[in-house]
Each structure stands twice: as structure tokens, then as C-alpha cells.
């Protein structure tokens, strides 16, 4: 233990200021608390290993075709565009509940933003729609 002589302890410059150390400790503590409990949300997607296996003819019977377009409105169901997400969502869910055994085929324009496609995939995952095909170019 370090002892300070009594004559030096009485002067104002001899005391140790712990304020900067406490500030740094609080900043590190807040950082650790904010980053410790973050949940990573993941959407599992099975990607084919070979491009030839992914490309195949799509059977026209028993399919619901969903298009993600490049320009707004971004959604179309069986080539019928919808004005917004809520209108498309209600039409898609009605069509899927009417034909639950149909396979959902998702075709996205390569210039379309990713947000509408991710919103569509999240909806299908939330409704546990697992009979899905995603079309892609060579």
C-alpha cells in the first residue's frame, strides 16, 4: 500500500481523481449490456450447389406465381400487380388459404430491391408456407 505523508495529503494536488476511470468503466459496462443480449434473426434458405439443378421447368398446374417487381408496386400475384403490401398480403393469403396444396413460385426481377423479397419470405416463414420455389437466371 502506498502511504502519503500527512503534509502532502493536506495539499490539493496530492489526491487521486478517479472520475475519468469511473467514466470509462461505465462506458464499457453500457457497451457490454447493449451487445450481450442481441438475438440474431436468421432466415434459412436452401441454395442449390449446382446451377443446373436449380434450373428446371416450372409446372403450370398447382402453382401460385408471386412476382417481385423492380418498380413500385413491387408485388404481383399471378401477373396481377397490387398497389401496396397490405393489399398484396391479403390477396396472397386468401389465394393460399383457398389452395393450400399449391406450390408458391417466387420470381424476382434482378433489379428489384431486396426489401420486398425479404418481406415476402418473412411472411411465408411466419405462415409456415414451405412449398416454395425461387426462380433464378443462369
Domains in the chain: boundaries: 62-135
**Which position has the higher pLDDT, 40 or 126?**
126
- As a whole number of angstroms, the distance between CA 5 and CA 121 comes to 72
pLDDT surpassing 80 at residue 137: no
- Quote the pLDDT of residue 7: 62
pLDDT surpassing 60 at residue 5: yes
Assigned CATH for 62-135: 3.30.420.270
The C-alpha cell of 37 is what?
443480449
Length of the chain: 138
- As a whole number of angstroms, the distance between CA 101 and CA 50 comes to 28
Residue-wise pLDDT for 57-95, tens only, equals 555 567 888 888 888 777 888 888 888 888 888 888 888
- As a whole number of angstroms, the distance between CA 88 and CA 76 comes to 7
- Quote the pLDDT of residue 26: 93
pLDDT surpassing 70 at residue 9: no
Write down the residue that cell numbers 459496462 correspond to.
Answer: 29
- Quote the pLDDT of residue 53: 54
- Quote the pLDDT of residue 25: 94
Residue-wise pLDDT for 89-121, tens only, equals 888 888 888 888 888 888 888 888 888 888 888
Banded pLDDT at 12 (limits 50, 70, 90): low
Residue-wise pLDDT for 21-51, tens only, equals 999 999 999 988 888 776 667 777 776 676 6
Amino acid at each position: 500500500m502506498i502511504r502519503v505523508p500527512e503534509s502532502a495529503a493536506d495539499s490539493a494536488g496530492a489526491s487521486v481523481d478517479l472520475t475519468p476511470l469511473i467514466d470509462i468503466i461505465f462506458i464499457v459496462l453500457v457497451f457490454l449490456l447493449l451487445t450481450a443480449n442481441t438475438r440474431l434473426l436468421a432466415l434459412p434458405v436452401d441454395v442449390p450447389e449446382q446451377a443446373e439443378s436449380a434450373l428446371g421447368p416450372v409446372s403450370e398446374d398447382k402453382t401460385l406465381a408471386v412476382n417481385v417487381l423492380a418498380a413500385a408496386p413491387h408485388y404481383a400475384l399471378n401477373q396481377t400487380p397490387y398497389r401496396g403490401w397490405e393489399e398484396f398480403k391479403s390477396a396472397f393469403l386468401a389465394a393460399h388459404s383457398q389452395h393450400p396444396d399449391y406450390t408458391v413460385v417466387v420470381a424476382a426481377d434482378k433489379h428489384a430491391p431486396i426489401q420486398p423479397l425479404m418481406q415476402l419470405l418473412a411472411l411465408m416463414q411466419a405462415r409456415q408456407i414451405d412449398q416454395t420455389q425461387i426462380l433464378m437466371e443462369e
